[in-house]
Amino acid sequence: MSDEQRPPASPEPGGAASGGPERPGPERQGPEPEAIRFFGTTWLHHDGGYGLRRAGVAVGSLALAAAGAVVLRFAFQGLEIADVGPFVGILVVAGFAICSALAFRRTWDGFVRRPDPAAESAADRSAQSLMFIGFIGSLLAYFCRSLVEAPGEKRCRAEYAAARERHERRRSSRTGNPAARKSRPKKRR
């Protein structure tokens, strides 16, 4: 798409620029909810198979974590066959455990609050390798969060509520004819 054909960026979360659903007509007033991976906008009203999607995400992430653990077990057996010694085995297990814990925490924090775009720099690029190594922790975070809600639903719901409130405030302050408002006389003491 060329720049002339692109819709203008919306300052509201879930607007046209963030991939929110486009609804033509008069019902499209105010900010749109942000789409969540695997859920779209079904998290807003818990419709459209929301419960089945949550169950699917929970089962899928747990199954993928179990498959990842099996693959890591095969890798560890390869180290045992190579007879590298117990020190290397302990380092590998500790490294995967630490990376999984860091990936779990980072993924969980992403569900609770949006990362600061100013802080996303070289630290994020180096953290990607930790996330890659600790993929089991990230999958387990998806599993645990999907037992309660859609992963990231609480954060998106809070952002959407704040955007709706800002929209209502702006809309209510603009209603009526401002020229028709009469200024009140100042009180004399």
pLDDT(3) > 60: no
Task: Note every long-range contact of 54-59, with CB atoms under 8 Å and residues 24 or more positions apart, other chains counting.
Answer: 54/146, 54/149, 54/150, 57/142, 57/143, 57/146, 57/150, 57/151, 58/143, 58/146, 58/147
Q: In the structure, what pLDDT confidence band is assigned to residue 189 with cuts at 50, 70 and 90?
A: low
Cα dihedral across residues 9, 10, 11, 17: positive or negative: negative
Looking at every residue in the chain, the average pLDDT score rounds to: 80
Question: What's the pLDDT at 66?
Answer: 96
**Per-residue pLDDT tens over the stretch 50-73:** 989 999 999 999 999 999 999 999
**Per-residue pLDDT tens over the stretch 70-106:** 999 999 899 889 988 889 989 999 999 999 999 999 9
The residue assigned the tokens 């630490």 is 98
CA distance 180 to 66: 68
pLDDT(20) > 50: no
pLDDT(186) > 90: no
3-state helix, strand, coil in the chain (%, to 5): 60, 0, 40
Question: What's the pLDDT at 7?
Answer: 46
For the purposes of burial, counting CB atoms within 10 Å of the CB of 101, is it exposed (0-12), middle (13-18) or buried (19 or more)? middle
Asked if 167 contacts 12 with a C-beta cutoff of 8 angstroms, the reply is yes
